[in-house]
Chain A
Amino acid sequence: MSTKPKSSDLTILTPARNPNLHSTLPWRPFYFHGANPRGCTTEPGQTQTRLFPFPAFALSAALSLLVLTACQTPTSPRVSTTATPLPDTIERRVAELKLTLPAVSKPGPTATLTSVVVSGNLAFVSGHISRAADGQLITGRVGEELTVAQGKAAARQCGLAVLASLRQELGSLDRVRRVVKVLGMVNCPPGFKDQPQVVNGFSELMLDVFGRERGLGARSAVGVASLPSNVAVEVEAVFELAR
């Protein structure tokens, strides 16, 4: 059931409103945490920021909760919090797309970082470097040793690594509600301008896996002077988890 927000409630700038932005960008210019952007269908039971007629809401919420609980898959024993996964569509999508997620190694006792930190309902994911399916690092500067297409493929590999880390930390990707914010860093020479096209390799994978509503997040795509081990691309991101 979708509810149209009053124009006074939300002042977010969407691609549809801003004529300067191309409507097929794989990222949102503005993500307003806690509210539903215009056009987004409301998931039953999701907290709303607006008031609407109570009886209609209560009835539809009750009916929807009934449907949701009937369809809910049992939580795996690995999930130690009380967070309830959404109906299992993400893991099914990963299987449909025949994605091979890389193996994830556990950090040793002297580690100075961890791949994912969950804080409240946000999962902060460390920068993941570009690594090929065979485990070899994808190195080189995009626009110099690597083409934009190769850089984009490298960024997509970062995406697979991020999904692997999320799955290991959370037990299932179905616990992920949406992509919130991405920082895509491209190893490139001065004067290189196509960072957004390169980072699209990551963002388009998120769209494939999570769908347009949940896979589209805020994003910055930048060029950096150098990256660890001279890898081509490194991406970090923040995801919102299901309650």
Chain B
Amino acid sequence: MSAAARLVELKLELPAAPKPAHVYKPVVITGNLCYVSGHGPLRVDKTMITGVVGKDLSLEQGQAAARQVGLAILATLRNELGSLDRVKRLVKTLGMVNTAADFYDHPKVINGFSELMREVFGDDAGVGARSAVGMGPLPGNIAVEVECIFELR
């Protein structure tokens, strides 16, 4: 099933594609690779999910924030590419969690993002290489930031 059709089937509600606030582009396409800038957990009401995972937010809330980042990235992709069907596969993800110093479950948090990608793009095209790490403060104290690279058709 095509990714665009999956979006409809899963009844996913995408936020508005975020506009860059500073000196960068939301995506850059070079050859057949699409580099996506870091996105935060942007809700439909245009607010961000903020807080330190492991202190202000639980693991589940962190996972929900990571999933919200995924929805924001899908919104950007659709806006920039015209259709999600132009995406051949997810290549590489860098998932950064705003964490307390003694929080170690970053992979579980970023699974919130990765599982959404697998739902939309499938078991092969939706699963890529990945690093899931803990960061100090993130911009605006957002809970999760994810940047990634997609391969286009």
Contact = CB atoms under 8 A, between A and B. Distances in A.
Contacts of A190: 136
A190 to B, nearest CB: 8
A150 interface: no
A225 interface: yes
Interface string A124-147: 111100000000000000000000
B149 A124 contact: yes
Interface string B96-120: 0001111111110011001100100
Chain A interface size band reads 20 to 34
A226 B129 contact: no
Contacts, number: 93
Chain B interface size band reads 35 or more
A224 interface: yes
A126 B130 contact: yes
A229 B134 CA distance: 11
Nearest to A139: B104
Interface in B68-112: 89, 91-94, 99-107, 110-111
A114 B131 CA distance: 10
Interface stretch (A44-52, A68-76, A115-123, A170-178): A115-123
13 contacts: A111-B127, A116-B129, A117-B129, A119-B149, A120-B33, A126-B129, A190-B136, A224-B134, A225-B135, A225-B136, A226-B133, A229-B104, A230-B102
